[in-house]
Amino acid sequence: MRGRTLQRWWRNPRTKAALVVLVPVLAAALLAPLYPVSPTAQDLRATLAPPGTTSASGAFYLLGTDELGRDLTARLLHGLRASVLVGAAALSIAVVVGTTLGLLAGWFGGAVDSVVTGATETLMTLPFILLAIAVIGALGASTTVLILTLGLTGWVSFAKLVRAKTFELRNEEFVQAAHALGVRTPGKLVRHVLPNVAPLMLVDGTLQFGALVLAEAGLSFLGLGVPPPTPTLGGILAGGQVFLAVAWWIATLPGLTLLVLVLAINVLGDTLRDAAAP
């Protein structure tokens, strides 16, 4: 991002509000292993304990426990960590695949553009949830399959964005000058085209990150995400819905955590977009 764009982004009060929420949440997710209580440790004497309960063994449960007496604070922290890491890994795959295909389609055009455009349009017509269920059902539920499924279905927006910008940039004077100097195609794409599409990718990547985190939670809710015993926000929410009438905190707290995380990410993406195109 250029200096003026960065200044506009930082001066936006919504940017600071989003960062105030997002930075502590991400820090808590990354530092989850430092929490002294295991997310899988059970205390059957403290099942369905409400928030702020001290058990007979002397353990204090800040956010209560679930039906097996597991500390909900520990499970939320580790579930948040799983959602963030899966979303980041899937986003990395989507960025690499989408950027590469978008650069090739926009630069070469012709048959390459037709193939890439056909692939993007095909994926856009397929309902994501049905495609994900089919892939995970065929390959089995695992963290690796989940990341690959999210990453290899999330590259479409990057490819469309990079293709359009590359098609515009390939006729610019600085690119033509590089061509006249004998710079090969990989050099022109990496040195001249890619830096000019990077700000757009940053904006779209921020918005896509929130969508991927939400998609991971949705698949985990359906039992197609990260397999047990690793806790996930969607998995905790799915298990807690059964006890909603007697233990509201089990389903409500992961839902609120997911809402705050995705909302903060989307607000940050909106402010980046507004700063890049005021």
Give me the percent of the chain exceeding a pLDDT of 70.
98
Q: How far apart are CA 22 and CA 236, in angstroms?
A: 21
Q: pLDDT digit string (tens) for 160-201?
A: 999 998 888 887 777 778 767 777 878 778 887 888 888 888
For 147, the token pair is 């990341």
CB atoms within 10 A of CB 262: 19
- 53 three-class SS: strand
- How would DSSP label each residue in 160-182? HHHHHHHHHHTTSHHHHHHHHTT
Provide the total of helices (H) and of strands (E) in the chain, helices listed first: 12, 2
Q: Which of 188, 192, 162 is nearest to 94 (CA)?
A: 162
Provide the pLDDT for residue 78.
95
**Domains identified in the chain and CATH numbers:** 22-27+72-276 (1.10.3720.10)
User: In whole angstroms, what separates CA 205 from the centre of its chain?
Assistant: 9
Q: pLDDT digit string (tens) for 25-83?
A: 999 999 999 999 999 999 888 899 999 988 877 889 999 999 999 999 999 999 999 99
